[in-house]
Structure 1
Amino acid sequence: MAGKTVGVLVEFNYEDLEVWYPLLRFQEEGFRTIAIGPEKLKSYTSKHGYPCKSDTSIDAVTVADLAALVIPGGWAPDYWRRDPRFVDLVKDMFNAGKPVAAICHGAWMFCSARIIKDRKLTCFHAIKDDVINAGGLYEDSAVVVDGNLITSRVPGDLPQFCKAILQQLQAQ
């Protein structure tokens, strides 16, 4: 997997495991992993107080740089969905056919990018109505894969979530 980069979004109030598990899991598989934040080398604090320093800024990342994009949950997606730079990256990754994966509240990004009409996905139950109202076909499962769209619900789903992303990365 050398040469392939997996990007993981980071921002204040991210869900700890949903950032760190993918960053470390894909690194373990030989991928280069990068934390992508609003600003390069800025430290962002999680919901539980754990810091993550971004490796790069959203302005410095293009679809060509990434093999896959992971969107963690927590409250961070509520910041990203207000920022067209993040929404555009999600939409562009999706349109390029590259794996775009969201867990928990991360599915808000798919709603804002307007890419889930008639697509199957899951999310944290509290935003189920947002997903449905955006045209998504909600399913309460640990992981749902619909083409290059990969979704999960909660930190306990991370093993299945990362396995589904890895399967798509290995198929590239």
Structure 2
Amino acid sequence: MTDSLPLSGKKFLLFVGEDYEDLELWYPKFRLEEAGAETTLAGLEAGKTYLGKHGYPAVSEATIDSINSTDYQGVICAGGWMPDKLRRFEKVLSLLTEFHAREKLIAAICHGGWMPISAGIYSGVKVTSSPGIKDDLINAGCIWEDASVVVDRHFVSSRRPGDLPDFCRGILDVLHSTKTSESFMD
């Protein structure tokens, strides 16, 4: 039955760290897996349990330093306070730059947009976010919109947990539209 799932054989990276937004990590993870994808939770330490803002635990399956972007078809940047911490690490920024260079999915929700800002890949991109980082996004050269989801090429963004159904539909739409392209297939 897994052969008939649209994302069977595809892999996606999800960054995890202290104070991640619980729903913004778990909802996309489960939605991608429901479609047949494999997911990897990567944090600064492998095997470490990170607590979300609301106390839900997530165990990192790999270190961010061990991740190779060519092994994945996309990355999910959940919100919470985690993105402000992770954007300080060069490997997070280099991974995002590599995903962007290959036009692979980069999906950010709420405060997750802080990571692509720091990677320098958001200039000229239409996005949405938590209103709390609207000015940061505009100052980084983004075109900010107040919408439940904004899709611009391989970028998907949403504002908050209540937008997760639209966020995940946007992710699946991008993956469906690129599934025959070289960037999605590698």
Q: How does 1:60-139 map to 2 (within 5 A)?
A: 60-139=66-145
DSSP 3-state at the match of 2:42: strand
| CA drift at 1:88 | 1.1
Structure 2 residue runs of 5 or longer lacking an equivalent are 1-6, 180-186
Identity of aligned residues (%): 44
CA distance in 2, matches of 1:94, 1:132: 19
Write the distance in 1 (CA, Å) between the matches of 2:124 and 2:37.
32
Given candidates 9, 24, 34, the residue that maps to 1:28 is: 34
**Structure 2 length as normaliser, TM-score?**
0.90
What's the secondary structure of 2:65's corresponding residue?
Answer: helix
In the aligned structure 2, how far is the partner of 1:67 from the partner of 1:168? 11
Q: Which residues of structure 1 form unaligned runs of 5+?
A: none
Deviation at 1:33, TM superposition (A): 1.1
- Alignment match of 1:11 (pick from 10, 13, 17): 17
- Take 2:166 and 2:12, find their aligned partners in 1: how far apart are those partners? 17
Find the aligned partners of 1:90 and 1:124 in 2 and give their Cα distance: 20
Which residue identity is paired with 1:150? Answer: V
Give the deviation of 1:103 after TM superposition.
Answer: 0.2
Report deviation, 1:111.
Answer: 1.1
Q: Is the partner of 2:13 in helix, strand or coil? A: strand
User: What SS is found at the alignment partner of 2:47?
Assistant: coil
Cα-to-partner distance string for 1:77-102 (whole Å, 9 max, x where unaligned): 01111111111111111111000000
Q: Give the Cα–Cα distance (whole angstroms) in 2 for the partners of residues 119 and 59 of structure 1.
A: 27
TM-score by length of 1: 0.97
Structural RMSD (CA): 0.9
Shift of 1:105: 0.3
CA distance in 1, matches of 2:157, 2:96: 13
Confirm or deny: 8 A CA contact 2:8 2:35 kept in the other structure.
no
How many matched pairs? Answer: 172
In the alignment, the residues of structure 1 paired with residue 32 and residue 125 of structure 2 have an alpha-carbon distance, to the nearest angstrom, of 26
Q: 2-side partners of 1:168 and 1:134: how far apart?
A: 23
